[in-house]
Amino acid sequence: MGVISAATTLLLSASLLAGIAPLVTESTSSTAVADLIATVSGERMMATIQDLEEFGSRAFYANGSREAADYIQQRFEALHLDTMKQEFTVGGFESSNVIAMMEGTDPDTPCFLFGAHYDSENMNAENLTLAETLPAPGADDDASGVATVVELATVLAGTEIKNTIKFVAFGAEEAGFDQSGGLAGSSVFVLAEKANGTAYAGTVIFDMVGYKAGAQNYVMGFVNSASGQLPWAIESAVSEHSLDLVIELVDAPWMAYSDHYPFWLAGYPSMLMIEELDNTTYAPLYPHYHTQNDTSDKLSPDQIAEIAKATVAGLVSVAEREGGSDFTIYAIAATVAGGSVAAVLVYHRRRQARVQ
C-alpha cells in the first residue's frame, strides 16, 4: 500500500490548516484541556489501524514492515513535524524506527516521548517462508498503539510548550521466527538518546490498547520507582475530566515485555500502557493475540480514544507543573460533513511560570 487512505486524509485535513491566528480566551485551564481532548477522534484512530492492517504482515523481516514505516513517516510529515528514520539491522534484516519531533520552546528542558511498535507477528510463523506468507495484521498488537501515538501527534501538533515531544514508532519489538528481534528498535533508540545526553521528563509506550475484555474501557499502566510524574497525572486526568476509562497503575519493575523496558534499563522515566491482562499471569486476555485474526473489528474505538484523551490531559498537567511559561494550546477540531472540514480554534492561554 504505502499511501495514506482517502478516509484518513479527510480526517487529517483539519490538522493541516495553516495561518490561523491565536485567540486569547478567559477559559480556565481545566476547560482549555477539555476543549483540547475533545479533538481526539476514535474514528480517526480506527482509520489508522485499518490502514496498518492492510499491509498483511508487518513482521520486521517482511516488506510490509518497510511499507508501514513509510506510511507512518508520511503521517508524521503531514503534520509538519521534523521526521526521520533511524535505520538498524536485526537478524540480517533491515529495519527502522520512525521518529517525529515537535520542538519545544526551551531546548534545555527534558523531553516527553510517546511510542509504540509497528511490527507484527503470527505465532505460527516458524520459518522465513511461513513468516513471509502468513497474515499478521496486528490490529491490536500493535497498530492500536501506533494509532494512539499518531493521534497524540495530530492533537498536540497545534500546541506549544517548553518541552520537546518525540513521537516514535519502533521496529522489531517482536522476537520474530528466529528470535533475533525483541525490543530491538527501542534498544537502538535508547542507546542513541543516552549517547546524545537526551533527558526525559516522561515517556509512555502503548502496546495493545484496543481490546476491551469487559464492558468498561480499561487500561493498565506498568510503572517502576523511577517512572516520574506522568503516569499519576494521566491517572488523575481520568477523574478530573470525567473520562469513560478505568486505569490501573501497577508497580512492576519486573515487567520486561515491551518497549518501555530499554527506557527503564537506561534510567529513563517510562510507563507501559496496555489493555487488561490476566490478573495472575499478566498474559493477554485478547484471544487473537499473535494470530491472523487480530483485526480491527475486534477493537474498541471508544477505549483507544479515552486512553488518548487521558494521556493528553496528563501531559498538559505535568508540563504546567514543571513551570511551562508561554504554555499555548491551539486546538483544531475537525468536523467532517458533506465532504467539508470546519476548523475551530479552541484556546490560547499564556501561563506564568510557577515556582514550587
CA 44 to mean position of chain CA atoms: 14
Model pLDDT, residue 131: 87
- pLDDT category at 319 given cuts 50, 70, 90 is confident
Per-residue pLDDT of 338-354, as tens digits, reads 222 222 212 122 122 22
Non-local CB neighbours of 323 within 8 Å, separated by 6+ positions: 162, 353, 354, 355, 356
Q: What is residue 31's predicted lDDT score, i.e. its pLDDT?
A: 81
Give pLDDT tens digits for 83-93. 999 999 999 99
Q: pLDDT tens across 235-278, in order?
A: 999 999 999 999 999 999 999 999 999 999 999 999 999 999 99
* Domain boundaries along the sequence of the chain: 6-345
Confidence of residue 6 (pLDDT cuts 50, 70, 90): very low
Please give the CATH number for the structural domain made up of 6-345.
3.40.630.10
The whole-number pLDDT of residue 30 equals 77
Buried b (16+ CB within 10 A) or exposed e, 163-201: bbbbbbbbbbbbebbeebbebbbbbbbbeebeeeeeebb
**Of 326 and 148, the one with more pLDDT:** 148
CB 135 within 8 A of CB 57: yes
pLDDT tier for residue 329 given thresholds of 50, 70 and 90 = low
Q: Which residue has the higher pLDDT, 321 or 221?
A: 221
Contact 46, 121 (CB under 8 A): no
How far apart CA 271 and CA 220 sit, in angstroms, is 10
Q: Provide the pLDDT confidence category of residue 321 given band limits of 50, 70 and 90.
A: confident
Percent of the chain at pLDDT exceeding 90: 77
Give the whole-angstrom CA distance, residue 184 versus residue 249.
26
Q: Across residues 16-40, what is the average pLDDT?
A: 58
Across the chain, mean pLDDT equals 84
Per-residue pLDDT tens over the stretch 120-168: 999 999 999 998 889 999 999 999 999 999 999 999 998 888 999 999 9
Q: Residue 142, preceding bond cis, omega within 30 degrees? A: yes
Whether the predicted pLDDT of 284 surpasses 60? yes
